[in-house]
Amino acid sequence: MKPNIYSNGRIPSLDGLRAMSICLVIVGHASATVAVFSHSASTLFAFIGAGRLGVSVFFVISGFLITKLLAREQQAAQSIDLKAFYIRRMLRIFPAFYCYWLVVLALTLLGCIHVPRLDLVSSAVYIWNYVPRKVDSWFLGHTWSLSLEEQFYLLWPFILFLSGPKRGKWIAFGIVVFAPFLRVASYFLFPSTRPLIGMMLHTRADSLMIGSLLALVMQERDHIDTIKRWAQSSLIPVGALCFVAVDTILSVRFRGEYLLPVGYTLQNLLIALLVAHVVFYDQTSFGKILNNRFVVHVGVISYSLYLWQQLFLTPKNTSFTGRFPLNILCAFLVAELSYNCLEKPLLRLRHRFSNNESLIRAKSSVSSGSETQLAASASA
Q: Per this entry, what is the length of the chain?
A: 380
Going from N- to C-terminal start, the domains of the chain cover: 14-378
User: For 139-170, how does the pLDDT look when each residue is reduced to its tens digit (9 = 90+)?
Assistant: 999 999 999 999 999 999 999 999 998 999 99
Q: In angstroms, rounded to a whole number, what is the distance separating the alpha carbons of residues 118 and 132?
A: 10
pLDDT band at residue 76 under the 50/70/90 scheme: confident
Given this model, what pLDDT does residue 49 score?
Answer: 67
Given this model, what pLDDT does residue 277 score?
Answer: 94
Greater confidence (359 vs 256) lies with: 256
Residue 10 has pLDDT above 50, yes or no: yes
User: For 176-207, how does the pLDDT look when each residue is reduced to its tens digit (9 = 90+)?
Assistant: 999 999 999 999 999 999 999 999 999 999 99
pLDDT band at residue 72 under the 50/70/90 scheme: confident
Q: Residue range 362-374: average pLDDT?
A: 39
Task: Enumerate residues 6+ apart whose C-beta is below 8 A from 161.
Answer: 74, 79, 80, 82
**Where is average pLDDT lowest: 76-85, 141-150, 210-219, 291-300?**
76-85
Q: In angstroms, rounded to a whole number, what is the distance separating the alpha carbons of residues 323 and 318?
A: 8
% of residues, the chain, pLDDT over 90:
66
Given this model, what pLDDT does residue 12 score?
Answer: 63
Task: List C-alpha distances in Å: 137 to 101, 141, 316.
Answer: 13, 6, 10
**Where is average pLDDT lowest: 6-10, 181-185, 214-218?**
6-10
